[in-house]
Structure formats: C-alpha cells, structure tokens
C-alpha cells in the first residue's frame, strides 16, 4: 500500500508539479487555500489524521510586494505556520521538507553558499527567514530546508516564463529587468530533486540550495528562453529595477550556490537549455 504524503500549497507552481510527480508512488493529500488555511491551527492539526510519512511545505505568501504591505499575513503563513507544521512533524514522526528562498540573503554578493549569513532586504525574505529559524528551533532531525530561486515552468498560476511565452506569441512588447541576477530553477527540476531526496533518505545537512548552473540576469535569461522557444526577442526591452518601480526591494545579486548541495546530495542540476527544451514540449502542447 502507498504511504501518505501531505503537500501544502498543493495548488501553487511547485505544489502542483510535485503532486503530479509524487502521486506515482505516494497517496498525495493536498492542503491549500481556500479549504485548508494553514494559518488556522485547526487545519494544521487536521494533517495528523493522514499520518503522512512526509510533509512537503510549499505553502507560502509569495507575492513579494504584497508581503511589504501585509506583513502580519506574511508572517502568519511564512513563519508561524512553519513552526506549527514543524511541531506537528515532531509529534507524529513525519519527515519535513520545507521550501525557502534566496531572498533570505541581501543580494550584495554573488551566489551565497548554504552556510552564508542571511540578511534579507525585504519583508518576504524576512518572513521566510523567520520560518527557517522557527523550523530549526523546533526540529533537530528528519527535516530539510531547500532554498530555491526564480521558479519557472508551467503552472496553474502564470510563472515568468508563461508570461514571456504568452506575451511574445501575441506579439506584445514586454519590459524585463537587466540588473537582477539569479540562477533560476525549473519547477520540474526542483520536483525531481525533492524526489531524489525522498528516495535517498533525509540528508544530515539541514539546508540545501537549488537552481540551475548558469548565473545570469533576467534579460539574458529571457534571451536564452526566446532562443530555444523560437520567440522574437526584439519585443523584449531591457529596463532597470529602478525604472520598473517595484514596491519591495529585490536582491540584485540573487540566486544560490548549488555546488555544495550537488556534492553532498550527489545530484547534478541540469543546464537551463536542457530544461528549456523540456519546457518547450509542454508549452507547444498547450
């Protein structure tokens, strides 16, 4: 009989992809809004009736600008709920895989390591860092925090690549920032990485990083995407973060060093191009 796995944020970009992949070997139970608001302790308590072998926490308030204006809500889901989930995992002996972000770093230096000191610039990053702290305070084993950055791929909610693809297919001009750097992570790759961890046992290392091997700014990322998708890059106008006027401060040098993670876990993250070709098939199928 398949064992149970609870995926929180199961309707989100990662949660949805992960649910599809893991349903091949687990009985996947999704927890997401509006039915299961994880800021309500009743719903976190409700997880225990499934006695899940793993809980994968993909639920989060990911609206970076929204987190600046609704700080209470951001802390409730990105930090307090993580604490409650960690406590529950301890109580019912479930293993916890929690997803965090490169925005816990200040973006002042390229590709922070798993043991670099966090110093978030915006409230989204701050609330996610609080989530990490609360989890680390509660659990000493059977958990891992996986930080990721700029998730792209096909999802229920339009991701960056969905937006670029749709806009350029419709011949619409778009503006893309050329001063925000990262090593974006294909959502299917992150699901595969999580699956690899599940198959190989929880690592001793408490924090891991995910992303692609290439480090580039969003404009160059878009160019590389357009090359593979055969889209007209002429429609893409480079702009600076200042010009675009985003409410929350973003780390300009975002992204995460994946080297130590690859060595510790024995996993090689695929190149951007490789993943773009996989995504191309999905996008062309519609």
Ligand X SMILES: NC(=O)c1ccc[n+]([C@@H]2O[C@H](COP(=O)([O-])OP(=O)(O)OC[C@H]3O[C@@H](n4cnc5c(N)ncnc54)[C@H](OP(=O)(O)O)[C@@H]3O)[C@@H](O)[C@H]2O)c1
The burial class, CB within 10 Å (0-12 / 13-18 / 19+), for 99 is: buried
Name the segment binding ligand X (CB under 6 A); options: 47-55, 58-66, 169-177, 215-223.
58-66
Coil/strand/helix, residue 1: coil
Asked if 187 and 152 touch (Cβ cutoff 8 Å), the reply is yes
Closest approach of ligand X to the CB of residue 115, in Å: 19
Task: Report the site for ligand X in 13-42 (rule: CB under 6 A).
Answer: 13-15, 32-33, 36-39
- Of these, 77, 176, 197, 198, which contacts ligand X (CB under 6 A)? 77
Closest approach of ligand X to the CB of residue 134, in Å: 14
149 binds ligand X (CB under 6 A): yes
Rounded Cα gap, residues 155 and 282, in angstroms:
11
Rounded Cα gap, residues 207 and 101, in angstroms:
11
99 binds ligand X (CB under 6 A): yes
Q: What residue is closest to ligand X based on CB?
A: 12
Rounded Cα gap, residues 140 and 77, in angstroms:
22
Closest approach of ligand X to the CB of residue 8, in Å: 6
Nearest by Cα to 87 from 128, 40, 140, 148:
140
The distance of Cα 134 from the centroid of its chain, to the nearest Å, equals 18
Rounded Cα gap, residues 171 and 69, in angstroms:
34
Task: Report the site for ligand X in 154-213 (rule: CB under 6 A).
Answer: 157
Choose between 26 and 103: whose C-beta lies nearer to ligand X: 103
- Of these, 61, 67, 96, 258, which contacts ligand X (CB under 6 A)? 61
228 binds ligand X (CB under 6 A): no
Closest approach of ligand X to the CB of residue 155, in Å: 6
CA pseudo-torsion sign 161, 12, 10, 125: positive
Closest approach of ligand X to the CB of residue 105, in Å: 11
Choose between 95 and 147: whose C-beta lies nearer to ligand X: 147
CA pseudo-torsion sign 160, 165, 168, 172: negative
Tokens of 45: 């308590």
Choose between 173 and 220: whose C-beta lies nearer to ligand X: 220
Binding site for ligand X (CB under 6 A): 9, 11-15, 32-33, 36-39, 58-62, 77, 99, 101, 128, 148-151, 157
């Amino acid at each position: 009989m398949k064992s149970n796995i609870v995926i929180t944020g199961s309707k989100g970009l990662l949660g949805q992809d992960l649910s599809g992949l893991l349903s091949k070997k687990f009985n996947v139970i999704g927890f997401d809004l509006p039915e299961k608001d994880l800021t309500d302790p009743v719903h976190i308590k409700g997880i225990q009736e499934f006695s899940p072998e793993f809980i994968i926490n993909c639920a989060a308030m990911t609206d970076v600008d929204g987190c600046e204006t609704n700080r209470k809500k951001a802390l409730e889901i990105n930090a307090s709920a993580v604490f409650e989930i960690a406590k529950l995992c301890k109580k019912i002996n479930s293993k916890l895989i929690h997803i965090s972000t490169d925005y816990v770093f200040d973006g002042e230096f390229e590709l922070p390591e798993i043991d670099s000191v966090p110093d978030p610039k915006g409230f989204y990053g701050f609330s996610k860092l609080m989530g990490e702290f609360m989890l680390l305070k509660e659990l000493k084993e059977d958990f891992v925090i996986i930080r990721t950055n700029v998730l792209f791929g096909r999802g229920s909610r339009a991701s960056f690549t969905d937006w670029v693809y749709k806009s350029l297919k419709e011949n619409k001009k778009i503006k893309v920032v050329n001063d925000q750097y990262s090593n974006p992570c294909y959502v299917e790759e992150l699901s595969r990485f999580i699956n690899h961890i599940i198959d190989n046992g929880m690592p001793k290392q408490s924090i891991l990083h995910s992303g692609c091997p290439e480090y580039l700014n969003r404009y160059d990322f878009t160019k590389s995407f357009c090359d593979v998708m055969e889209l007209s890059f002429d429609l893409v106008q480079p702009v600076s973060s200042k010009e675009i006027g985003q409410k929350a401060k973003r780390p300009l040098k975002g992204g995460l060093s994946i080297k130590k993670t690859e060595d510790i876990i024995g996993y090689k993250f695929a190149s951007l191009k490789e993943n773009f070709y996989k995504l191309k098939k999905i996008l062309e199928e519609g």
